């Protein structure tokens, strides 16, 4: 009887562990779905573009969606040029130009405040273009688009983000051309899909966020809660020592100064080899003199070029 009771207890414990694992998996999936819906709602236009009938009215609507009443606008012969202030939701761009290119197309041009490494050219597969040696494939996009770049492996990594894939797939009939190079972005979209204009801007922001992750560049929210090297517990913005294990606040591995939220004005990165923090400009200076990581001494000279253009 005792052995039977022990078996029952062991079986019960296993069942409990399984149920807890399933519950965690469900919560994680619900959280991911919620985040996706939240991001999509951010790029969904607040007003209804279908009530604007004329071409000029369509551009007027798009202009108002981008402006948010705090951007400077210059009227052009075919549309508008909008200067984007700091703190604006599209402040990855310094300026955005929207023009009516033809009866059926609207062109969106953006000047970025950050440099995009390599180039990316996405063209609608239904439009005939000549093939080049820079063409490459991404399984989820091959049916709808032709892709071109000199750094295909990097862009394949970017396209593992399901949000980016979904935005492109859901609008494949209306995106004729999307192009990124250096600080320049250009897109050609169907004129009757004006809401796609803001989606294109949000797509560029998503791509930039993925590039930052790829190169280990942290955004402002990540800097506000750096992770303790010892126990991996997040630091609160003004915490001097870890409240869980008592370890010191993370420092820049080069200048050895503690990192605080005020550092959001300058980029903070994590090294690709051992994941320690550093001011971006400091680690660039270090790697120009010594190709080895100042912490683990692994050769990371390949990372220097990425840092300089990101």
187 lies in the same domain as 80: yes
Tell which of 215, 241, 268 closes a domain: 215
pLDDT at 259 over 50: yes
The tokens for 5 are: 């009771």
- Backbone torsion region of residue 216, taken as left when φ is above 0, otherwise alpha when ψ lies between -120 and 50, otherwise beta: left
Are residues 128 and 253 both part of a single domain? no
Residue 22 lies in a domain: no
> Would you state the pLDDT for residue 69?
55
Specify whether 83 is located in the same domain as 142.
Answer: yes
Residue 27 resides in a domain: no
d(Cα 309, Cα 211) in Å, to the nearest integer? 11
Identify the pLDDT of residue 164: 94
Last residue of a domain, one of 215, 237, 252: 215
Give me the sign of the Cα torsion angle 68, 74, 76, 82.
negative
Residue 177 has pLDDT above 90, yes or no: yes
Confidence grade of residue 104 (pLDDT, cut at 50, 70, 90):
confident
Establish if 32 belongs to a structural domain: no
227 and 186 in one domain? no
For the chain, the average pLDDT equals: 79
pLDDT of the residue at 273: 85
- Assess if residue 14 is contained within a domain: no
When mean pLDDT is compared across 70-84, 149-163, 212-226, the lowest value belongs to: 212-226
Answer yes or no: is 33 within a domain.
no
Same domain, 261 and 276: yes
Assign 159 a pLDDT band (cuts: 50, 70, 90).
very high
269 with 128, same domain? no
Give the number of domains in the chain. Answer: 2
pLDDT, position 308: 65
Average pLDDT, integer, range 57-75: 76
Q: Is the pLDDT of residue 52 over 50?
A: no
Q: How far is 156 from 301, CA to CA, in rounded Å?
A: 23
Cβ atoms within 10 Å of 281's Cβ, excluding its own: 14
Give how far the C-alpha of residue 43 lies from the chain's centroid of Cα atoms, to the nearest Å: 13
Band (244; pLDDT cuts 50, 70, 90): confident
Looking up residue 282, the CATH number of its domain turns out to be 3.30.40.10
How many helices (H) does the chain have, and how many strands (E)?
Answer: 8, 9
Q: What is the pTM of this model?
A: 0.61
Name the band, by pLDDT with cuts 50, 70 and 90, for residue 129: low
192 and 74 in a single domain? The answer is: yes
Statement: residue 1 has pLDDT above 60: no
Report how far apart the first and last C-alpha atoms of the chain are (Å, whole number): 68
Contact 74, 68 (CB under 8 A): no
Percent of the chain with pLDDT over 90: 24
Whether 254 and 202 map to the same domain: the answer is no
Q: Which residue did the predictor score with more confidence, 134 or 30? A: 134
Domain boundary among 200, 215, 230: 215
pLDDT attached to residue 147? 93
Reference 308, options 173, 182, 205, 151; nearest CA is 182
Sorting pLDDT into bands at 50, 70 and 90, what band is 72? confident
pLDDT of residue 15: 65
Identify whether residues 136 and 240 lie together within a single domain: no
* Element housing 58 (H / E): helix 55-67
Angle CA 289–295–297, to nearest 5: 60
Average pLDDT in the 184-208 region? 88
Residue 126: helix, strand or coil by DSSP?
Answer: coil
Reduced DSSP (H G I as helix, E B as strand, rest coil) percent helix, strand, coil of the chain, to 5: 40, 25, 35
Residue 294 to residue 291: CA distance in whole angstroms = 9
| Residue 186 within any structural domain of the chain | yes
The pLDDT value given to residue 36: 53
Could you tell me the residue range of the domain that residue 299 belongs to?
A: 220-309
The larger pLDDT score, comparing residue 262 to residue 198, is at 198
Does residue 57 sit in the same domain as residue 181?
yes
Confidence of residue 170 (pLDDT cuts 50, 70, 90): very high
Cβ contacts of 262 within 8 Å, gap of 6 or more: none
For 42, other C-beta atoms within 10 Å of its C-beta total 11
70, pLDDT greater than 80: no
Q: Are residues 263 and 204 in the same domain?
A: no
Residue 266 in domain? yes
Give yes or no: residues 136 and 255 share one domain. Answer: no
Containing 17, the helix (H) or strand (E) segment is helix 2-42
Kindly report, residue by residue over 289-309, the tens digit of the pLDDT: 999 999 999 888 878 777 766
200 pLDDT band, cuts 50/70/90, is very high
Does 26 reside within a domain? Answer: no
Tokens of 51: 């009530």
Residue with tokens 């700091």: 86
Q: How far apart are CA 10 and CA 66, in angstroms?
A: 60
Per DSSP, the residues of 126-169 read: TS-----TTEE--TTTTTTEEEE-S-HHHHHHHTT-HHHHHHHH
Are the beta carbons of 103 and 190 closer than 8 angstroms?
no
């Amino acid at each position: 009887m005792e052995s039977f009771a022990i078996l029952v207890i062991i079986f019960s414990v296993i069942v409990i562990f399984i149920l807890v694992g399933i519950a965690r998996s469900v919560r994680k999936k619900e959280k991911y779905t919620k985040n996706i819906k939240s991001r999509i709602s951010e790029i969904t236009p607040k007003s209804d573009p279908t009530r604007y009938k004329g071409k000029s009215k369509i551009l007027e609507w798009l202009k108002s969606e981008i402006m948010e009443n705090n951007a400077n606008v210059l009227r052009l012969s075919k549309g508008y040029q909008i200067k984007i202030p700091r703190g604006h939701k599209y402040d990855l761009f310094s300026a955005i130009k929207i023009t009516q290119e033809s009866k059926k197309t609207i062109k969106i041009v953006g000047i970025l405040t950050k440099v995009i490494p390599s180039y990316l050219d996405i063209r609608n597969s239904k439009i005939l273009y000549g093939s080049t040696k820079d063409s490459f494939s991404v399984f989820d996009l091959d049916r709808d688009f032709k892709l071109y770049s000199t750094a295909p492996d990097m862009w394949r990594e970017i396209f593992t983000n399901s949000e980016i894939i979904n935005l492109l797939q859901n609008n494949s009939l209306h995106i004729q051309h999307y192009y990124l190079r250096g600080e320049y972005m250009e897109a050609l979209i169907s004129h009757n899909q004006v809401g796609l204009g803001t989606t294109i801007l949000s797509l560029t922001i998503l791509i930039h966020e993925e590039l930052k992750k790829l190169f280990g560049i942290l955004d402002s929210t990540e800097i506000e809660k750096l992770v303790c090297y010892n126990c991996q517990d997040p630091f609160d913005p003004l915490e001097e020592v870890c409240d869980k294990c008592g370890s010191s606040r993370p420092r820049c591995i080069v200048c050895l100064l503690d990192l605080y939220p005020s550092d959001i004005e300058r980029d903070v990165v994590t090294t690709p080899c051992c994941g320690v923090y550093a001011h971006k400009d400091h680690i660039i200076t270090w790697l120009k003199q010594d190709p080895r990581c100042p912490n683990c001494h692994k050769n990371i000279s390949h990372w220097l070029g990425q840092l300089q253009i990101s």
